[in-house]
Structure 1
């Protein structure tokens, strides 16, 4: 049985935790922009950690159930309704045959995650169903297509539903505007003044941001390096191109690049950043590797203990 897509919205993509081990071939990882929201959605249903979900950006997305099941919604509050009745994110819900689930417009945040009991059934491509539109790989068709009206998303029927909710302490604050940054090895190529400008300035999220990278508008910063030999790009790398406007490279980033990088946002910070809409204002704050590891350990431990 399955969900049938009624309205495809602006951007709804099938995702798992990503396509790993293929960056040497030029293929990026893909995966959920907000990893912790994704992980909690599967946890609410006792799903495998990597079970496929739908990442819904901005909303305007609706589906109809063709069999009983359980769902979980995490991430942004996109004004979701079940049979026209409002429902909240970070909870699980029972679904009956014929139910209509709809996501409207953002109340807070930008991306919501929809999980179904047992995960959406989709044939993986190179070991993953993660949709990367730019590379035309993954997703329902295997060709990187976003979900379209009439698409059928299969799942195993399930009727033994349990109401569950994510603990309040584990729900992130998407109003948080400070994004943690680990300093990179090219940090020294930025003068003391340029570093101070970077960490003391507000940056506005550009409308030209996407899953590949968040482009920012604000104080121009420059590096003493005029250019570097192209090298591998880590998740969260903050590239500074010639125009001096930082770009934070995220899930669908290119695998190599040749611009100086002042640092790298953490996965948790990247998840928070990905919930910011064009026009939102953020700031960067430096942290150590130890601090980043402690935050990651805290988040993953909380999830594991709850499971």
Structure 2
């Protein structure tokens, strides 16, 4: 097992999320940054959906109680194992008793720690993903983040893997990202000026953003179409509430909403959005659903992502 000495600002247990339960009002949960999560598992030879720790802004210390292979991906933070510096985005080995220190993130927001074999916990609704709002998931099945002194069991693994992520696949969190917008059903009901403003201006991430969604400021977007009834909300949906400040939904989103939507952010870009801090800027460009589908299919094949959804 491992012991959490210091959890940092906010530490939760996350696997790839729970699928097939939106009709029951249960959201997916899972990693806010799917890209970093998938790489962390791949580096230690895990299945794509093996459970990891998601750590917001770093500042965590973790003790390994037995020999362990691990990887750390995501936000840029200094790493050390018993005071010896380590690099992120690659696999490492620890012996029993060693302590991993994850420093404060310098760029980006969320950090992922994977261990060979994955962390073990009792699943709820097919997943151990922690969703605080719904009080499900986590090591005690109550949706609570991890605190100091928490212990987590790990699956036995004999893997001895030495891998690193090529530099061209490591995001630069210090740069302003350009996120692809797939226009949605209500897109044409927004005035031309609003559609152009969204795709040709930068927006600023608001401090009220969290794992449910990212609220943006900078340009008020008006909607002149008819009112809509509540409908299902995708991860990446760009909702426009009456105040005109768009909200982009993330993994802990509610399952239904009645605000008009410009469209959906490409799943490949939601991960980058999830690493944006309050005050960071983002910009948008239009993309086609056909283009995104082709890219996403190649991406999931590379990580061997296989989803079997039932009871949707």
Q: TM-score, normalised to structure 2's length? A: 0.93
Residue 283 of structure 1 is matched in structure 2 by: 283
CA displacement, residues 141-170 of structure 1 (integer Å, 9 cap, x when unaligned):
101000111100111355652221122333
Give how far 1:41 is off. Answer: 1.1
Question: Which runs of structure 2 are paired with 1:119-134 in the superposition (5 Å)?
Answer: 119-134=118-133
8 Å contact kept, 2:176–2:283: no
8 Å contact kept, 1:57–1:110: yes
Larger mean CA deviation between 288-297 and 51-60 belongs to 288-297
Residue 116 of structure 2 is matched in structure 1 by: 117
Q: CA RMSD in A?
A: 1.4
Give how far 1:271 is off. Answer: 0.2
8 Å contact kept, 2:45–2:159: no
CA displacement, residues 48-84 of structure 1 (integer Å, 9 cap, x when unaligned):
2211001111111111111111001111122222112
SS in 2 for 1:295: helix
Question: Which runs of structure 2 are paired with 1:161-176 in the superposition (5 Å)?
Answer: 161-174=160-173, 175-176=175-176
Residue 243 of structure 1 is matched in structure 2 by: 243
Gaps of 5+ in 1: none
Residue 29 of structure 1 is matched in structure 2 by: 28
Residue 64 of structure 1 is matched in structure 2 by: 63
| Distance in structure 2 (CA, Å) of the matches to 1:250 and 1:16 | 15
8 Å contact kept, 1:170–1:299: no
SS in 1 for 2:194: helix
Task: Give the 3 Å change call, closer, same or farther, for CA 143–106 of structure 1 in structure 2.
Answer: same
| Distance in structure 2 (CA, Å) of the matches to 1:159 and 1:219 | 53
Residue 216 of structure 1 is matched in structure 2 by: 216
Residue 48 of structure 1 is matched in structure 2 by: 47
| Distance in structure 2 (CA, Å) of the matches to 1:142 and 1:107 | 32
Residue 230 of structure 1 is matched in structure 2 by: 230
Question: Which runs of structure 2 are paired with 1:85-96 in the superposition (5 Å)?
Answer: 85-96=84-95
Task: Give the 3 Å change call, closer, same or farther, for CA 65–229 of structure 1 in structure 2.
Answer: same
| Distance in structure 1 (CA, Å) of the matches to 2:97 and 2:158 | 14
Task: Give the 3 Å change call, closer, same or farther, for CA 296–191 of structure 1 in structure 2.
Answer: same
8 Å contact kept, 2:43–2:161: no
Runs of 4+ in 1 over 6 A off after TM superposition: none
Give how far 1:226 is off. Answer: 5.5
SS in 1 for 2:291: helix
Give how far 1:247 is off. Answer: 0.2
Residue 182 of structure 1 is matched in structure 2 by: 182
Give how far 1:85 is off. Answer: 2.4
Larger mean CA deviation between 205-214 and 167-176 belongs to 167-176
Q: TM-score, normalised to structure 1's length? A: 0.95
